Amino acid sequence: MRRFLSTLVALASLASAAHAVPLEQMAGQMIVIGFEGNTADSASVKALAEELEAGRLGGVMYLKKNVKSLADVREMNALFRAAAPDLLPFITLDQEGGSVERLTKDVGFTEIANARTIAARNTPEEAQAIYARMAAAIADLGFSVNFGPVADLDSNPDNQVIARFGRAYSADPATVSAYDAAFIAAHHQAGLVTALKHFPGHGSSTADSHEGFVDITKSWSANELDPYRTLIAEGSADMVMIGHLYHADYADGDGETPSSLSPRWIDGVLRGELGFDGVVISDDLEMGAIRDHFTLEQTVIKAVRAGMDVLLFSNTAYQRPGLGGEVLAILLAEAAADPEFAARIEASFERIVALKARIE
From CA 176, how far away is CA 171, in angstroms rounded?
8
State how far the Cα of 138 lies from the Cα of 62, in Å rounded to an integer. 12
Catalytic annotation, pick one of 86, 210, 215, 252: 210
283 catalytic? Reply is yes
User: Could you tell me the strand order of the sheet in which 59-61 lies?
Assistant: 279-282, 239-242, 193-199, 145-146, 90-93, 59-61, 31-34, 311-313
CA 62/CA 69 separation, integer angstroms: 13
106 belongs to the catalytic site: no
Distance CA 14, CA 111 (A): 39
* Nearest to 244, CA basis, from 306, 287, 295, 297: 287
For residues 306 and 341, the answer to whether their CB atoms sit within 8 Å is no
Q: Which of 72, 94, 152, 283 is catalytic?
A: 283
Report how far residue 19's alpha carbon sits from residue 149's, in angstroms, rounded to the nearest whole number.
Answer: 34
Does residue 196 come out as left (phi exceeding 0), alpha (psi in the -120 to 50 range) or beta?
Answer: beta
Beta bridge pairs of residue 100: 97
Please report the sign of the dihedral spanned by the C-alpha atoms of residue 170, residue 174, residue 177, residue 183: negative
The residue count of the chain comes to 360
Beta strands 279-282 and 31-34, pairing class: unpaired
Which residues lie below 8 Å from residue 101, measured CB to CB, with a gap of 6+? 94, 95, 109, 111
Q: Active-site residue numbers? A: 210, 283
